[in-house]
């Protein structure tokens, strides 16, 4: 319940609002009541190809801002993935009355959120190595580091339209997370493309095997901002450039 209270206090535009929480007297199970967020998921937007690079970078910045809002109260989302981001339409605040709207990403689904890491609690393509049991002996698992890893996977997918880890089976996908140190094969291929090395290295620094060696969400956001001018000249998806 303490974690639910902290989550309710976040009040960030890129994080779904928790309206109420408690425990059902009959079942003893805890519950959260969240606001209704209408719009397509980021997964659906990617599938439709309804993006350009500048819009993709805007979405990543908003998602990163939402994660930082959660991390400030030491809460990890722990299931960051495109299907857990809903695109909410908001009116443009440009001083006009044309009724135009932009899409704001909103992190939803706090089913795994919390301050403690539970082994195996992740969605396969986005689960950090420590979720699958590869925990360095000198490291105390932190949910925020798991979010950085998943955010890096999501960033690759949002910019390229392709899932970074997609093994033939769930076991193969998990194994892929355990067998790299920041640069799985698809990311290596992206780095090899003209103008993509810096982007690939930025994402790779969020995917390091040792959680303590990963960069922060804030550093990733800053990196995307620095790359914005160059990347926005390219066509989405970037892997086809």
DSSP state, residue 12 = -
Marked catalytic residue, from 58, 61, 79, 147: 79
Is there a contact between 127 and 178 (Cβ–Cβ < 8 Å)?
Answer: no
Q: What is the DSSP letter of 104?
A: E
79: annotated active-site residue: yes
Q: Which residues contact 193 (CB under 8 A, 6 or more apart)?
A: 238, 239, 241
* Cα-based distances in Å from 166 to 25, 91, 174, 192, 200: 42, 36, 9, 20, 18
Cα 16 to Cα 23: distance, rounded to the nearest angstrom: 20
Name beta bridge partners: 31: 22
Count H helices, E strands: the chain? 8, 4
> Any idea which residue has 């910019």 for tokens?
159
Q: Return the active site residues.
A: 79
């Amino acid at each position: 319940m303490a974690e639910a209270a902290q989550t309710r206090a976040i009040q960030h535009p890129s994080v779904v609002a928790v309206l109420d929480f408690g425990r059902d007297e009959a079942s003893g199970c805890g519950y959260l009541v969240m606001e209704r967020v209408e719009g397509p998921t980021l997964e659906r937007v990617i599938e439709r190809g309804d993006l350009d690079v500048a819009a993709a970078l805007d979405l990543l910045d908003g998602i990163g801002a939402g994660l930082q809002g959660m991390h400030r109260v030491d809460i990890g989302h722990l299931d960051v993935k495109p299907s857990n981001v809903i695109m909410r339409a908001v009116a443009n605040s440009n001083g006009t009355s044309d009724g135009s709207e932009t899409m704001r990403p909103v992190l939803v689904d706090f089913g795994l959120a919390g301050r403690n890491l539970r082994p195996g609690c992740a969605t396969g393509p986005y689960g950090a190595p420590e979720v699958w049991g590869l925990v360095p002996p000198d490291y105390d698992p932190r949910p925020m580091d798991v979010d950085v890893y998943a955010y890096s996977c999501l960033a690759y997918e949002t910019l390229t339209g392709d899932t970074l880890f997609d093994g033939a089976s769930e076991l193969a996908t998990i194994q892929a997370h355990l067998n790299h140190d920041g640069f799985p094969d698809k990311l290596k291929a992206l780095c090899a493309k003209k103008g993509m090395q810096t982007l690939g290295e930025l994402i790779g620094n969020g995917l390091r095997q040792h959680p303590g060696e990963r960069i922060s969400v804030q550093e990733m956001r800053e990196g995307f901002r620095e790359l914005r001018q160059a990347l926005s000249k390219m066509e989405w998806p970037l892997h086809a450039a």
